[in-house]
Amino acid sequence: MIDGRHWDWETGQKKIPMADWRDRFGWVEEPYASQDGEKVAAIVNTGEETFNVCVNGDTWETDFDKIWHLRFLSDGCLAALVSEQGEWTVAIDGTSWENMFGYVWNPLYSRNSGSVAVAAQQDMRYCMVLDGKPWDETYANMTYFTLSDCGTKTAGAVQVVAADSGEIHKFKQGTFTAALQGKAWDTTFVNVWNLTISPDGEHLAAEVRQSLYDYTIAVDGLTWDRTYTCVWEPVFHPKKNHVVAPVRVGGHWMLAQDGEPLWDRSFVQLWHQMFSPDGDRIAAVVAPKYGRWTVAIDGLPWKRSFRDMVTDVVFSPNGKRVGALAKEGRNWYVVTDGTPWSNTFDMAWQPVFSPDGEHVAAKIEKNGKFSVALNDQLGSYMCDAAWDPVFSPEGDKILLRFIEDGTYYRRVVPVGEFAR
């Protein structure tokens, strides 16, 4: 979770010129803005086969052979996948991890710390690496990587039984399991899919396939008592060790907790469930009937449904409100508590609530330009690039980050003056 209490919330604007970057470097890749808005950075080409990162006009001290996936971390540091002399690792603010690998990919970032995890391959063996430290164990095959919210544990689906492509009987008996911090479960499965780690980092849950036709949820290697015709990704309760997952029963989808029905109704489809921050409420994307999508809160669907899709569901920080995005035809809608905004957009991004839930804003795209909309009001500017808005801790101001005409802007605006 981003802590903005110590950011500069004085009303006003800061500028960082970027137009000259294209003159200084061979090319400039996609820019990224820090969460506090004080920095803007991009991967830049500095030579025939060398790359660097430019931050507020200054480059890192070291060039690299290649740089991928530049991102700001929740603590404000800047991370990227980098290659040196044919090996790969992660660089934080220009300093590489000590360990190098044949390849690294799928970077994961903790929401509550500056931790970074990646999947790594070395000598055709696979593992996870957290803040530069690889697992002690490596595996012949590994997928579905995950990092705990606390930023201290990693997990993945791993192959623990060797099987040639023709040894179908071995696959049917089970060759995969899950590993937390490199330690694999004792139980094997035909398949292991999406994994999730408990908030305290001590427990691991996953979708598993026990046979060609039987699916269930496994927690710390122990399966639920019931099997289903299909399951979706599980989630942990934020304050308890309960596990909740969508399961398919009798041709319909329902929500189950620890193997028992949780909601008293089923849907044509149900997935992407989430708890409110306090754990008292659950929301999920559901299809009440074929071809219609909406959000259900504690089993009760919104009255309004949408034709194409509903996505990016989010609770307000106080857990009292729910926002989402919906799409019908070419139009995207921001939806709050079941009511779509009157404005429609060519594209919209996940809604952002103020701490008290009174206000909601979203990054939007319209006619090829970007902006931010607040409480169904469009901002007074349209720009070349923009980032998600951020509310001040008191909820009375909003931080806007955008690029227009080669200049990056950091602007703090009182909520009451947003549309002026």
Is the separation of the CB atoms in 217 and 224 below 8 Å? yes
96 with 112, same domain: the answer is no
List, in order, residues 6 or more apart from 153 with CB less than 8 Å away.
Answer: 130, 147, 180, 181, 197, 201, 202
The pTM for the full model equals: 0.94
Tokens, residue 65: 């052979």
135 with 209, same domain: the answer is yes
Residue 24 in domain: yes
**3-state SS assignment for residue 308:** coil
Question: Quick one: DSSP state of residue 102?
Answer: S
Question: Quick one: DSSP state of residue 113?
Answer: S
Tokens 């479960």 belong to 185
Work out how many domains the chain is built from and give that number: 2
What is the predicted pLDDT for the residue at 290? 96
How far, in Å, are 81, 111, 120, 174, 347 from residue 115 at the CA level?
Answer: 14, 9, 16, 33, 31
Is the separation of the CB atoms in 348 and 362 below 8 Å? yes
59 with 114, same domain: the answer is no
194 lies in which domain range?
105-223
- For 415, phi then psi, to 5°, come to -55, -40
Residue 210 in domain: yes
List, in order, residues 6 or more apart from 23 with CB less than 8 Å away.
Answer: none
**3-state SS assignment for residue 415:** helix
Q: Which of 78, 100, 122 is the last residue of a domain?
A: 100
19 with 111, same domain: the answer is no
**3-state SS assignment for residue 21:** helix
Residue 299 in domain: no
117 with 186, same domain: the answer is yes
120 with 192, same domain: the answer is yes
Q: Which of 69, 100, 131 is the last residue of a domain?
A: 100
Residue 409 in domain: no
Residue 175 in domain: yes
74 with 114, same domain: the answer is no
Q: Which residue from 174, 115, 207 is spatially nearest to 128, judged by alpha carbons?
A: 115
Q: What is the dihedral of CA 197, 203, 206, 209, to 10 degrees?
A: 170
**3-state SS assignment for residue 417:** helix
80 with 150, same domain: the answer is no
Q: Which residue from 361, 365, 391, 385 is spatially nearest to 373, judged by alpha carbons?
A: 361
Per-residue pLDDT of the chain (420 residues; tens, 9 = 90+): 677 888 999 999 999 999 999 999 999 999 999 999 999 999 999 999 999 999 999 999 999 999 999 999 999 999 999 999 999 999 999 999 999 999 999 999 998 888 999 999 999 999 999 999 999 999 999 999 999 999 999 999 999 999 888 889 999 999 999 999 999 999 999 999 999 999 999 999 999 999 999 999 999 999 999 999 999 999 999 999 899 999 999 999 999 999 999 999 999 999 999 999 999 999 999 999 999 999 999 999 999 999 999 999 999 999 999 999 999 999 999 999 999 999 999 999 999 999 999 999 999 999 999 999 999 999 888 999 999 999 999 999 999 999 999 999 999 999 998 876
Q: Which residue from 25, 107, 100 is spatially nearest to 73, judged by alpha carbons?
A: 107
Residue 121 in domain: yes
pLDDT digits (tens, 9 = 90+) for 243-295: 999 999 999 999 999 999 999 999 999 999 999 999 999 999 999 999 999 99
What is the predicted pLDDT for the residue at 144? 98
86 with 126, same domain: the answer is no
Residue 288 in domain: no
Q: How far is Cα 155 from Cα 159, in angstroms, rounded to an integer?
A: 13
Q: What is the dihedral of CA 14, 20, 26, 28, to 10 degrees?
A: 20
What is the predicted pLDDT for the residue at 1? 61
Q: How far is Cα 403 from Cα 410, in angstroms, rounded to an integer?
A: 9
Q: Which of 79, 100, 121 is the last residue of a domain?
A: 100
126 with 204, same domain: the answer is yes
Residue 285 in domain: no
What is the predicted pLDDT for the residue at 164? 87
Q: Which residue from 113, 109, 90 is spatially nearest to 100, judged by alpha carbons?
A: 90
18 with 82, same domain: the answer is yes
Q: How far is Cα 71 from Cα 223, in angstroms, rounded to an integer?
A: 37
110 with 48, same domain: the answer is no
Strands 87-92 and 235-236: unpaired
List, in order, residues 6 or more apart from 233 with CB less than 8 Å away.
Answer: 193, 194, 196, 207, 245, 271
What is the predicted pLDDT for the residue at 400? 98
